[in-house]
Structure 1
Amino acid sequence: MVFSKILGATHKVPKTIVTNDDLAQIMETSDDWIQSHIGIKERRMSLEGENTSQLATDVALELVEQTNTKPEEIDLIIVATFTPDSLAPATAAIIQKELKAKNAWAFDLNTACSGFMSALSTADKFIQSGQYKKVLVIASDVNSKMLDFKDRTSSVFFGDGAGGVLLGTGNQPQFINENLYTVDDQDLIYSGRVNTIDDLSVDNYPSIGAFHQHGRGVYQQVVSTIPSYIESFLAKNELTVDDIDYYVTHQANLRLIEKLAELIHQPIDKFSRNVEYYGNTSAAGMAIGLAQLMNSEVDLTGKKVLLVGFGAGFTYGCVLLQF
């Protein structure tokens, strides 16, 4: 049987740092309020023209270099994003061109903030099929281009970034189990709604809606659903929360991650965190968290890592890895 193995992991963020004080210059907010409520100190934003594909391409280039992989060896590129460069072509297709990965099939996948987990799960199936040997899985979001900066309840959360892994084949299972869900609560978070036309007119031109979230509703959905779900998922795998060495969750905000840790009675040090300095980077946050963990000084040999995703849709789930 063919098993998936993570061969390498990395991440990229824009150069421009946007502090809470910077945001306070354009909206009614403050550093004290933002840090006390959501725990974010600063975020990176693509104010120098970096689009979703550019951040993702930088990740792809570093992954092939890090793993000594030739671009033509890549069989598949999956990009998780809900802020693509365009609806067509796919952001993954742009990466395929820039990488010169001439043998790769490429497509985008959108489950919003849980996108990296969904893309990783999808890539694992392609590897298991035996037809695909090396798969790039990249999560990249430039949230800043979708924000309404008059909506301070949403815009203070977000930053831009990308992260990803290169999957290959291994002799032992690294992907132990998974469970993914979608529930019908579509109005908690939405972005990029495309308006229909009212009549046939030369004045009609496509328009797209900004990002919006019902913050309190999202918080309540997560704290009421995710802790018990984690415990149930682990129990089905004959594990408890104490058996997990590290948790990599969606980087929604620091206070929410702290609450999840509290509700499952786990130390916060077990949770990979980047939201304090990168902001909520949507699908990229989990990918960045996993890359930071894998590239740290921690020896992951034999360790169990639980990916916990949740996002617009409403989507949520877990992927259990053992290194």
Structure 2
Amino acid sequence: MNSKARITAIGAYVPHKRLLNEDLEKMVDTSDEWIMQRTGMKERRIAGDKEYASTLAFKAIENLIETYNKDLQDIDCIIVATTTPDYVFPSVACQIQDYFKIPHTGAFDLNATCAGFTYGLHLANSLITSGFHRKILVVATETLSKVTDYSDRTTCILFGDGAGAVLVERDEEHSSFIAAHIGTNGEGGMHLYRTSLAATMHEQTLNTNGKMVQNGREVYKWAARTVPLGVKELLHKSELQIHDVDWFVPHSANLRMIESICEKSGFLMEKTLTSVAYMGNTSSASIPLALHLGIEEQKVKNGDTILLYGFGGGLTHLGLIIKWDLSEKN
């Protein structure tokens, strides 16, 4: 089979409520200057009491439908990347199927933390090029504010809420996907976790309050070492040079981390898209939010070559090089 997979539409949504650095100054021992110096974040969006991962996902998908005039009724698979689902089960993907009344589709959630969106795209590409699927909805949606410890000054400044969605469709002539690189370092799982049933990891006792726990220094060191190597491997696989890439879109974890990764990888910050300054770290949603911002600001254009790189808890990472082309094909 010679099926190809192409990204044909994108949508995004963030909650209306803003959490400013000035607000955080009143909550913990911090300052706007300290936060900006270490993270580059000015504000983040926070879900309301009745807003959940599903709520944000619905809004992002509705934005996709309205912007690109897409019909969801023939979708045959829904993939949702999230670490903060409304329920352990049913999945957010099943809630999406019900909300939009999609008649004949598979639906499941995946948890690859901040690499979730690139994992979802990689999987969608594989399912379509295998010949078994034709039209897949990939959604990344997070309500990290609901699992953030707002007494912990090192983590509460980082996280925000949001959602992004893309359609990936079978296209016999045009493919969005050029190269992929994937990897895992499970030994580093201790450095970024949120407990569920187990109270220990590697025979060490965990914080079991249900909130995120992060060793920022160790995650920073791992990402700054791992992502540039992954970028190098992606360029090798695709037979491209750094100047062939129009836009670099890493996970928006922290602006200082992104600056370090760009310096080590050879990307200019002017050619890097982020969503971190006004949305914070939105985990799996950060890459589609950055892409959507890039389109709104008329930076990303059809024909652009884009390198996406997700990385986070697990520790896990996945990079993709894609060709961006949302134009209608005959």
State the TM-score, normalized to the length of structure 1.
0.92
Cα distance 1:21–1:112, how it changes in 2: closer, same or farther (>3 A)?
same
What is the Cα deviation at residue 258 of structure 1? 1.4
In the alignment, the residues of structure 2 paired with residue 299 and residue 317 of structure 1 have an alpha-carbon distance, to the nearest angstrom, of: 21
Q: Number of aligned pairs? A: 313
Name structure 1 gaps, 5 residues minimum: 197-206
Q: Which residue of 1 aligns with 2:175?
A: 173
Q: Which residue of 2 aligns with 1:249?
A: 250
In the alignment, the residues of structure 1 paired with residue 146 and residue 285 of structure 2 have an alpha-carbon distance, to the nearest angstrom, of: 15
| Runs of 4+ with >6 A deviation | none
When structure 1 is superposed on structure 2, of 66-75 and 144-153 the one drifting more is 66-75
What is the Cα deviation at residue 242 of structure 1? 2.0
In the alignment, the residues of structure 1 paired with residue 152 and residue 308 of structure 2 have an alpha-carbon distance, to the nearest angstrom, of: 30
Q: Which residue of 1 aligns with 2:113?
A: 112
State the TM-score, normalized to the length of structure 2.
0.91
What is the Cα deviation at residue 48 of structure 1? 4.4
SS state of the match for residue 281, structure 2? coil
Cα distance 1:238–1:195, how it changes in 2: closer, same or farther (>3 A)?
closer
Does structure 2 retain, via aligned residues, the 8 Å contact 1:194–1:208?
no
Q: Which residue of 2 aligns with 1:224?
A: 225
Q: 1:140-151 counterparts in 2 under 5 A? A: 140-151=141-152
When structure 1 is superposed on structure 2, of 177-186 and 207-216 the one drifting more is 207-216
Q: CA RMSD in A?
A: 1.6
Name structure 2 gaps, 5 residues minimum: 200-207, 325-330
In the alignment, the residues of structure 1 paired with residue 87 and residue 300 of structure 2 have an alpha-carbon distance, to the nearest angstrom, of: 40
Q: Which residue of 2 aligns with 1:272?
A: 273
Q: 1:174-213 counterparts in 2 under 5 A? A: 174-184=176-186, 185-195=188-198, 209-213=210-214
SS state of the match for residue 227, structure 2? helix
**Are 1:65 and 2:66 counterparts?**
yes
What is the Cα deviation at residue 296 of structure 1? 4.0
Equivalent residue letter for 1:175? F
Q: 1:90-101 counterparts in 2 under 5 A? A: 90-101=91-102
Q: 1:127-146 counterparts in 2 under 5 A? A: 127-146=128-147
Equivalent residue letter for 1:320? I
In the alignment, the residues of structure 2 paired with residue 220 and residue 304 of structure 1 have an alpha-carbon distance, to the nearest angstrom, of: 28
In the alignment, the residues of structure 2 paired with residue 105 and residue 117 of structure 1 have an alpha-carbon distance, to the nearest angstrom, of: 19
Q: Which residue of 1 aligns with 2:314?
A: 313
What is the Cα deviation at residue 233 of structure 1? 2.4
In the alignment, the residues of structure 2 paired with residue 86 and residue 104 of structure 1 have an alpha-carbon distance, to the nearest angstrom, of: 20
Does structure 2 retain, via aligned residues, the 8 Å contact 1:189–1:312?
yes
Report % sequence identity: 36
What is the Cα deviation at residue 61 of structure 1? 2.1
